[in-house]
């Protein structure tokens, strides 16, 4: 009887309890470039956090305008207040 019980216990499948792997969050360009960002004052009056370089772009009337690039809110270009 002991042999039958021991054989039955050894024939059962062994369940390995491992902690579940954490889910990976999809990365966007803004989250990949999280280092080196800086706060800027936008022309709209709001503060924006941008990762890219500040560039000078021509306006439609020929004037130049400073813009910040690759901002955290998803904007590619944000006009800056001078």
The more confident residue out of 28 and 64 is 64
Is residue 31 scored above 70 in pLDDT?
no
What are residue 57's DSSP bridge partners?
A: 65
Task: Give the containing element (helix H, strand E) for 48.
Answer: strand 47-50
Pairwise CA distance, residues 33 & 72, whole Å? 10
* pLDDT in the model for residue 7: 74
Tokens of 9: 């216990």
72 found inside a domain: yes
Q: Which domain holds residue 63?
A: 50-82
Give domain status of residue 2, yes or no: no
CB 66 within 8 A of CB 52: no
In a domain, 62, yes or no: yes
What mean pLDDT is predicted for residues 2-24?
74
Please state the domain count of the chain.
1
């Amino acid at each position: 009887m002991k042999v039958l019980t021991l054989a039955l216990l050894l024939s059962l499948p062994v369940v390995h309890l491992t902690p579940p792997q954490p889910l990976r969050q999809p990365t966007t360009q803004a989250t990949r470039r999280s280092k080196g960002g800086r706060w800027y004052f936008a022309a709209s009056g709001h503060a924006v956090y941008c990762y890219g370089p500040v560039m000078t772009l021509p306006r439609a009337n020929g004037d130049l305008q400073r813009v910040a690039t690759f901002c955290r809110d998803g904007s590619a270009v944000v006009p800056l207040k001078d």
